[in-house]
């Protein structure tokens, strides 16, 4: 009898708990990635490009290039 009651309860309760868990995890991931769920000042269809400038420092002393030949 207990088995059947647990079976019925899990059939209805488990999907509800799983949905709540997934929505919480999704919200945490959105916050970590920096997505905002609120509307911003941009209009629909407007393209906004955010650029970040990086200091491009090149290291000319990276090593010697060696051309290899395939040996049969």
Written in H, E and C, the secondary structure of the chain is: CHHHHHHHHHHHHHHHHHHHHHHHHHHHHHHHHCCCCCCCCCCCCCCCCCCCCCCCCCCCCCCCCCCCCCCC
The pLDDT, as a whole number, for residue 21 is 96
- Along the 72 residues of the chain, how does pLDDT read in single tens digits? 999 999 998 898 999 999 999 999 999 998 888 765 555 566 777 887 777 777 666 666 667 777 888 887
Name the one residue in this structure whose structure tokens are 């000042």.
41
The pLDDT, as a whole number, for residue 39 is 52
Please measure the distance between the N-terminal and C-terminal CA atoms of the chain and give it in whole angstroms: 75
């Amino acid at each position: 009898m207990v088995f059947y009651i647990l079976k019925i309860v899990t059939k209805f309760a488990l999907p509800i708990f799983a949905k709540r868990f997934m929505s919480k995890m999704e919200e945490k991931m959105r916050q970590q990635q920096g997505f905002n769920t609120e509307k911003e000042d941009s209009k629909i269809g407007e393209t906004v490009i955010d650029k970040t400038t990086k200091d491009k420092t090149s290291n000319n002393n990276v090593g010697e290039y060696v051309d290899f030949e395939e040996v049969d």
